[in-house]
Chain A
Amino acid sequence: MKKTKKCENYKCEKCKCENCATSERVSIPKIGFKIIITVALGLVIIFVTALEICRALASLSAIPALPAPELSEGMRGELGIDKNINEKTIDNYLGRSDSVYRDMRMLKDEANYEKIDGDSYISGIVKGFEVVSLPYLMTPENLPEEVGKSYSGETLFNCNKVTETCQPNYKESMAILEDLFPKNKNIFLMCGGGGYAGMTKKLLVGLGWDENKIYNVGGYWYYEGNNKIDIKMTISGADTYAFWRLNYHTIDFKTLHEV
């Protein structure tokens, strides 16, 4: 049916529009048109509202992006301590589902830190950090002479100071490391002063981890935030170490297979 402008708002009952007599024309009811428009508008409003609600919910559950790792100035930078995420700011980055938190100290270091008025025991930790002792991964270097030797037992890796490369001592070494430090997550590292954490980052990066996902947060000694868990405590006048408060990862070397 060919329409002309004349016929647009009318419907022809008997004949082609252009042939209709004025008396034969019947006006199209406008109520139907209004209903359609109203329903369409309603749907659009509902859709937009739903979209905004979804967006709001998504933003609530979204994890904010982390600043890229950046070295601190001076000797703190030499240890690899991060400029943005460190002892002063770590509280803002705790509890992220896309990250793991590792404290690299031993529960009791075999090096005698009491000789330099330090503490060989782990005296406290930041909430959320789990203990993975660096000396079980590799032999730490550059410890103060006075404290003597640190742990000298088995390690997952054997590192060469000159070539700065590390080789696995066990067939399971890499799998254990990947389990403790998932490659698909951000990794926050701490220790007493930042040294062990720095060595751990070097080890991981040398073995293929993405350095942009690993943060040396620094040393617990400098931490003044709100998430301290005291491990050293005094009961009946004697010092006690509440290791039961720690999430501690141990490695049973006897069950591993040498390379």
Chain B
Amino acid sequence: MTKKKPFIFGIVALVFLVALGFTLWKIFDRNSNEKPLNPPEVVTTLDREYVGTDGKQIEIAKETEDVNGFLNNLIENKKSFVIYVSLPICEGSTAEFKSYVHDFQKENSLSFYYLTSDYAKETMIFNTVKYFPSVIIVKEGEIVKYLRYDSDEDAEYYKSYDGFSKWFKNNVEY
């Protein structure tokens, strides 16, 4: 019996090592199959009617009393467009953000829709976007990207014209 003990111990150790190796292999194999942390951005091509304009700010609430219906119509028609939603109160550090967006529109001859947070709260936008101001990209009727006011990653895009320009060009073709 005593002579068999090292043999049994060896078998157990071998099984343990094989199991450990298999587990590690699986872990590394799974990691290699995972999507990269920064997946390629979804690039949206704006509909032609928003491109080559004079950088118009289309204020939805001034266009119609039925803001929700107006937006729903765009969505049902699978439009690809951009909406800027403002927070018209004591926002402090984001006061200049609107001017970056507007300047960018003018320089690139793009039209965006404009809406205040009070209106946005009553629309499908608020199901996805909770903090404002934000710029929201809608591709074929679906929100595919928006600037997150509560995200460290997006903070730099709020702080300068170049920051916003970089974010927009990474996500939109026109």
Chain A residues within CB distance 8 Å of chain B: 72-79, 105, 113, 116-119, 140-145, 191-196, 198-199, 219, 221-222
Cα-based distance from A191 to B87 in the complex (angstroms): 13
Q: Are A76 and B150 in contact (CB under 8 A)?
A: yes
Q: Are A192 and B150 in contact (CB under 8 A)?
A: no
Known: A77-B152, A196-B90. 5 other contacts (CB 8 A): A79-B91, A79-B92, A140-B90, A141-B92, A219-B87
Chain B residues within CB distance 8 Å of chain A: 61, 86-96, 98-99, 116-118, 130-131, 148-155, 158
Quick one: closest B residue to A73, CB to CB? Answer: B152
Quick one: closest A residue to B130, CB to CB? Answer: A222
Q: Which residues of B contact A74 (CB under 8 A)?
A: 148-155
Listed from nearest, the 9 A-B pairs whose CB atoms lie closest are A195-B92, A118-B88, A192-B89, A195-B90, A116-B88, A117-B116, A193-B89, A74-B151, A196-B90
Quick one: closest A residue to B149, CB to CB? Answer: A75
Q: Are A142 and B93 in contact (CB under 8 A)?
A: yes
Q: Which residues of B contact A79 (CB under 8 A)?
A: 91-93
Q: Which residues of B contact A196 (CB under 8 A)?
A: 90, 92
Quick one: closest A residue to B114, CB to CB? Answer: A117
Q: Are B86 and A116 in contact (CB under 8 A)?
A: yes
Quick one: closest A residue to B88, CB to CB? Answer: A118
Cα-based distance from A170 to B86 in the complex (angstroms): 38
Nearest CB of B to A149, in Å: 13
Q: Are A145 and B99 in contact (CB under 8 A)?
A: yes
Cα-based distance from A63 to B89 in the complex (angstroms): 34
The one of B88, B149, B150, B152 in contact with A117, judged by C-beta atoms closer than 8 angstroms, is: B88
Contacts A116-B116, A145-B99 known; A78 to B86 CB distance under 8 Å? Answer: no
Contacts A142-B96, A143-B95, A222-B131 known; A113 to B89 CB distance under 8 Å? Answer: yes
Q: Are A75 and B89 in contact (CB under 8 A)?
A: no
Quick one: closest B residue to A222, CB to CB? Answer: B131
Return 9 A-B CB contacts under 8 Å, by A number.
A73-B151, A74-B154, A75-B149, A79-B92, A116-B86, A143-B90, A193-B89, A195-B90, A195-B92
Q: Which residues of A contact B86 (CB under 8 A)?
A: 116-117
Contacts A74-B155, A75-B94, A142-B96 known; A193 to B150 CB distance under 8 Å? Answer: no
Nearest CB of B to A144, in Å: 5
The one of A76, A113, A145, A192 in contact with B131, judged by C-beta atoms closer than 8 angstroms, is: A76
Nearest CB of B to A143, in Å: 6
The one of A76, A194, A221 in contact with B117, judged by C-beta atoms closer than 8 angstroms, is: A221
Nearest CB of A to B23, in Å: 35
Q: Are B152 and A76 in contact (CB under 8 A)?
A: no
Cα-based distance from A113 to B90 in the complex (angstroms): 9
Nearest CB of A to B81, in Å: 20
Cα-based distance from A222 to B120 in the complex (angstroms): 13
Q: Are B90 and A192 in contact (CB under 8 A)?
A: yes
Contacts A144-B98, A145-B99, A221-B117 known; A193 to B151 CB distance under 8 Å? Answer: no
Cα-based distance from A97 to B128 in the complex (angstroms): 38
Cα-based distance from A75 to B97 in the complex (angstroms): 11
Contacts A74-B155, A75-B149 known; A193 to B99 CB distance under 8 Å? Answer: no
Nearest CB of B to A27, in Å: 68
Q: Are A191 and B90 in contact (CB under 8 A)?
A: yes
Q: Which residues of A contact B96 (CB under 8 A)?
A: 142
Contacts A117-B61, A117-B116, A193-B87 known; A142 to B154 CB distance under 8 Å? Answer: no
Q: Are A199 and B92 in contact (CB under 8 A)?
A: yes
Cα-based distance from A259 to B50 in the complex (angstroms): 58
Q: Are A195 and B116 in contact (CB under 8 A)?
A: no
Q: Which residues of B contact A194 (CB under 8 A)?
A: 90-92
Quick one: closest B residue to A197, CB to CB? Answer: B90
Q: Are B116 and A193 in contact (CB under 8 A)?
A: no
Cα-based distance from A118 to B117 in the complex (angstroms): 9
